[in-house]
Amino acid sequence: MQPTTPLAERLRPTSFKNYVGQQHIVGEGSALRSLIEKGIVPSMIFWGPPGVGKTTLANIIATYSKRPFYTLSAINSGVAAVREVIDKAKSQQFFGTNNPILFIDEIHRFSKSQQDSLLGAVEKGIITLIGATTENPSFEVISALLSRCQVYVLKELTKEDLLAVLQFALKEDEFLKNKKIDLQETESLLQLSGGDARKLLNTFEIVVNGLPDEKTPITNDFVVKTIQQNLVRYDKTGDQHYDIISAYIKSIRGSDPNAAVYWLARMLEGGEDPKFIARRLLILSSEDIGNANPTALVIANNCFQAVNVIGMPESRIILSQATIYLATSPKSNASYMAINNAQELVKQTGNLSVPLAIRNAPTKLMKEIGYGKEYHYSHNYEGNFKAQEFLPDEIKNTTLYEPGNNPKEASFRAFLKQNWKDKYGY
C-alpha cells in the first residue's frame, strides 16, 4: 500500500533534535535557540532559499514554546484572512496564556495594505509574527513591520546536510525502512534537488516508487531515467518558480537574448510578479555585467522603477527591452569577485587598524598624535593621483579587484597599471 502523504511531509521534523542545518541560529548555544529555551519568542523573519527549513522551524518553535499556531500563505490570503486570525487571537487571550504565533509563508508577496494590517497586532503583542521569505526583506517588507522583527538568515543546506536527510528517510520513514533499498549513488539526486531538502525527498520517493524490484540499485543513471521533469507549466508557487528564474538568469549571463526572452515569457504567462523579475535584473546587471558595461545597472534600475510605475501588461515590454539589453551586453563578474575576495580577507585578517595617514582628524589631539599627517590630497597632484598606501600594513599590495577581459575594463587595467606600476600586479 502506497502512502498518501508525501515523504517530505511525513518526515517533517518536530523538534530541534531532528532538524537538519541552520546550526548557526538553532544549534545548542546559538542566539535564537537560547531565546526560545528561555521562553522568549520575538517576531521574526526567516530569509533563505527554498527547502532549507523555514516552515519547519516555525512549527518547531510553536511546539517547543507551546503556543497556538496559525499559518497563512501570502499567495492566497488577503487582509480579511489576517484580520480573522487576529480576532481569533484576541478572543483566546486570557491570563497566563502565551500569545499565538502567526506564520506567513512568502511574506514578500504580501501587499503594503496586507502588511499594514499586521502592525497593530504585532506591536501590541496580540500575535507573534514569523514570516518566511526567499527575497531580501529589506526590499519587500515595509520598514514599520521590519523594525518590529528580527531577521534570521537561513543558509543553503550543504551536501552533508542533504545526505543526512536521505539517511534519515531510509532509517525512520515507516514505509521506506521496510523496503530493501540499495542506494549506491546520490549525485543525481542532489543535483536534481538544487539544495532543496523538500524537493530531494519528493524526488527520492518518486525514484523509490519507480524501482522495478528490490534488487535494482539506485544509481545516477536510474535517477535521471526515472525523473522526467515536466517544465511545460510554470508554477510560481512551486519548484518551477526557481527552475525557470534560474534558466532566465543563466540565459542572460550566457548572452542568449532568444532564450532569455522565452523564459521571461514563461514567467509572465504564469503570472509571476514583474517586480520579482526586475529585481533579478538589477542584481544580474552588477553581478554578471558590472563595469564591462556600467550602463547596464542604469538600464536595470530604470526598468525596476518603470515596472513599479507602469504595471502589467505594459511592463512586459520594458522587461523585454531590459532583458535583451543585458543579454547582449559584454559580461564581467570582476566586481562580484572583488567584494567576495575582500569579505573573505576581512574574515581571515580580523579588524586591522586604519593607517594613521588616512584617519580622520577632527580634533587637535588627533592631529597631534599623527592622524592624517602624511595624507596626500590627490587633486593637488598631476593627473589627480599620488601613490600612497590605503591598506593596513599587514595586507598592503593585496590585489582584490582583477579587471575583466573586456574593452571597458581593459581601460581600467591600463589606468591602474599607469598609476600603481607593479604594486598590484596589473
Q: Which of these ranges, 138-147, 160-169, 243-252, 404-413, has the smallest mean pLDDT?
A: 138-147
Characterise 22 by phi-psi region: left (phi > 0), alpha (psi -120 to 50), beta (else).
left
Residue linked to cell 531532528: 18
**Burial grade of 289 (CB within 10 A; 0-12, 13-18, 19 or more):** buried
- d(C-alpha 300, C-alpha 281), whole Å: 6
In 3D space, the residue among 7, 110, 100 whose CA is nearest the CA of residue 62 turns out to be: 100
Please write the tens of the pLDDT for every residue from 28-72.
888 888 888 888 888 889 988 887 888 889 988 888 888 888 888
Residue linked to cell 600586479: 425
- d(C-alpha 103, C-alpha 98), whole Å: 15
Residue 162 cell numbers, joined: 542533504
- Asked if residue 291 has pLDDT above 90, the reply is yes
- d(C-alpha 227, C-alpha 217), whole Å: 15
- Asked if residue 138 has pLDDT above 70, the reply is yes
**pTM above 0.85?**
no
Over residues 354-364, mean pLDDT? 80
Q: How confident is the model at residue 311 (pLDDT cuts 50, 70, 90)?
A: confident
Angle at 148 between CA 62 and CA 95, to 5 degrees: 50
Please write the tens of the pLDDT for every residue from 360-376.
877 777 777 777 788 88
- d(C-alpha 416, C-alpha 412), whole Å: 6
Give me the domains of the chain, ranges plus CATH numbers.
21-153 (3.40.50.300), 159-226 (1.10.8.60), 239-327 (1.20.272.10), 343-420 (1.10.3710)
- Report the range out of 17-26, 354-363, 391-400 with the highest average pLDDT: 391-400
Mean pLDDT estimate for the chain: 84
Residues in the chain: 426
In 3D space, the residue among 268, 269, 335 whose CA is nearest the CA of residue 296 turns out to be: 335
Widest Cα–Cα separation across the chain:
84
- In the chain, the N- to C-terminal Cα span, in Å, equals 67
- d(C-alpha 128, C-alpha 314), whole Å: 39
Residue 76 cell numbers, joined: 492566497
Buried (b) or exposed (e) across 45-72, using 16+ Cβ within 10 A? bbbbebbbbbbbbbbbbbebbebbebbb
Residue 110 cell numbers, joined: 504580501
**Cis (ω within 30 of 0) for the bond into 313?**
yes
Q: How confident is the model at residue 94 (pLDDT cuts 50, 70, 90)?
A: low
| Percentage with pLDDT > 70 across the chain | 93
Contacts (Cβ under 8 Å, ≥6 apart) of 13: 19, 20, 53, 56, 60
Angle at 30 between CA 27 and CA 35, to 5 degrees: 110
- Say if CB 44 and CB 130 are below 8 A apart: yes
- d(C-alpha 132, C-alpha 45), whole Å: 6
- d(C-alpha 32, C-alpha 152), whole Å: 9
Q: What is the pLDDT of residue 240?
A: 64
Characterise 350 by phi-psi region: left (phi > 0), alpha (psi -120 to 50), beta (else).
left
